[in-house]
Amino acid sequence: MAGTEISVPPEQFTKSKEPELITEKALEEEEEGVCRARAHPSSEELEAESTHGALQAKIPGGELELLLAIREEGEKHILTLQTVHLTSEDAELQDLAPQRQEEVQAGSGLQSWVWRGDGSQQSPHPCVTISIQEEVYLLQEVEVMQLHVLEEKVTGASEGSRCAVSLAESCGSIKLMKGQEEEQLLAEGGSSEETEGQFSLLEVRPGDEGRVEIVLTISPLNIEKPALGQAHAEEANATESQKKTKEVKRTFHCDICTFTSSRISSLNRHMKTHTNEKPYTCHLCLKAFRTVTILRNHINTHTGTRPYKCDDCDMAFVTSGERARHRRYKHTHEKPFKCSMCAYASVEASKLKRHIRSHTGERPFQCHLCSYAGKDAYKVKRHMRTHSEATSKRARQEIP
DNA sequence: GCTCGGTAGCGCCCCCTGCTGGA
DNA sequence: TCCAGCAGGGGGCGCTACCGAGC
């Protein structure tokens, strides 16, 4: 299938951003036999996705739910569901005879997806076949539709577990649901391709009754999954044999994002980034900060204390990062950010980003008084002088 | 747990240069 | 022709935020 591509109206899909696949209500729902991950990506985040060429998936009118089977016990997976252009060869894939078929309805707006699996286990990876109603997902040219499902290790999944992923357009939510059904056997036959070593995928083909079938190959990953309900630790990549043997390296997970660390102190520090708590207040300006380090740097900006002195000149800086950047600008001339379209290279990523706008013509900063748009914020600010000065000139002319 | 070093990102300001229109 | 105004492109720094790792 690699190579087969179907086309889906981009607006019909919302690509889930991997770090967003974290749940808010996962804990209580897990107790109900449902593992549910919900994310609320902001519009900015979705925008960012699109800028990377990834597809945006929006499900018109409601949620999209994807059922899939997890075969291995104690494994975690990242699933990427990707639509691809369909070719005539895909008809051959109809030979994949699913043994099971289920339809899922989740709410009024939900488009039905059909999970299918067969008993063949020839593939090293489990596969899932999903059918989508054709009126929802058109067999045209697709680029988009990428779903990342970060699945928790499935313990006690002897009966198997099913996961349902749903995208709700209205709120941008993604749900990960673990069902209680019996073990779903997995289909074999969809070609797979590794992407960044993370996932494999899948096959898209026309199904019956006007559906599109997507065969999803699941690659087991050694990725720790966020705990449900609270930050937790677990043994990284621990198999039973490994557990029995030796040195258990613990990995601590944030349950709000995909952050992991080998140190609990790092996790504890990280967890503060998910709160608005800023307990460290500058006594000079009353501005609050999350960490004492940031506060210290801030106070140095008041006092003029610049502890980081450049070895090659008389410049000094508040932070080591400023000094390092200064050294790249002035002394080492190291420019790690290189433009792929010309010879331009920059010390800073933001400069490269600004430079690329000169290639693309993008002008994201709009003047609110005229049609002028600038490629960076300061250009608009500078441009605004022309309005104020023009106004003042007129005023001077009108008032002799 | 604290601290340091490094990285990332946004913002601000400045300089240099080319174009354009009016004096 | 000269010059001021304006915009494009880019350099450099200020500051905040975050994280890995050493102590």
Residue numbers 288-347 of A with CB closer than 7 A to any atom of strand C: 289-291, 293-294, 297-298, 301, 315, 317-319, 321-322, 325-326, 329-330, 344, 346-347
A269 close to A280: Cβ distance less than 8 angstroms = no
Lowest mean pLDDT among A222-226, A227-231, A362-366: A222-226
**Interval A311-340 mean pLDDT:** 89
What's A266's DSSP letter? Answer: H
Residue A319 has pLDDT above 80, yes or no: yes
Given a cut of 60, whether residue A257 has pLDDT beyond it is: yes
**CB of residue A258 closer than 7 A to nucleic acid strand C?**
no
What type of residue is A8? V
Higher pLDDT, A66 or A369: A369
Residue partners of A281: CB distance under 8 A and separation at least 6: A287, A288, A289, A295
Per-residue pLDDT at A248: 55
* A265 CA from B1 C1′ (Å): 7
DSSP state of A313: S
Query: Does residue A50 come out as left (phi exceeding 0), alpha (psi in the -120 to 50 range) or beta?
Result: alpha
Average pLDDT, chain A: 50
What are the residue ranges spanned by the domains of chain A?
10-220, 232-274, 280-360, 365-398
Distance CA A235, CA A342 (A): 47
Q: Higher pLDDT residue, A8 or A301? A: A301
User: Cα(A400)–Cα(A397) distance, rounded to whole angstroms?
Assistant: 6
pLDDT at A326: 92
| pLDDT at residue number A17 | 27
Q: For A83-110, give the DSSP string.
A: --B--GGGGGGGG---SEEEEE--STTP
Q: How much helix, strand and coil, in percent to the nearest 5, is found in chain A?
A: 25, 25, 50
pLDDT, position A128: 29
C8 C1' closest Cα residue: A358
Q: Report the pLDDT value the prediction gives residue A56, as an integer from 0 to 100.
A: 30
Among A223, A1, A215, residue whose Cα is nearest residue A125 = A215
Quick check: A87 pLDDT over 50? no
- Nearest nt to the CA of A266 via C1' is C19
From the Cβ of A381, is strand B under 7 Å away? yes
- Provide the CATH topology of domain A280-360: Double Stranded RNA Binding Domain (3.30.160)
User: Do A172 and A41 meet the contact criterion of CB atoms below 8 Å apart?
Assistant: yes
> What is the C-alpha to C-alpha distance for residues A41 and A22, in angstroms, rounded to an integer?
11
Task: Please report how many Cα atoms fall inside a 13 Å half-sphere around the Cα of residue A167, on the Cβ side.
Answer: 24
Alpha carbon separation from A212 to A9, A11, A33, A143, A278 (Å, rounded): 14, 17, 29, 15, 50
Does residue A213 register a pLDDT over 50?
Answer: no
Q: Which percentage of chain A shows pLDDT scores above 90? A: 3
Least confident of A37-41, A69-73, A169-173, A285-289: A169-173
Nucleotide nearest to A377 (CA to C1'): B11
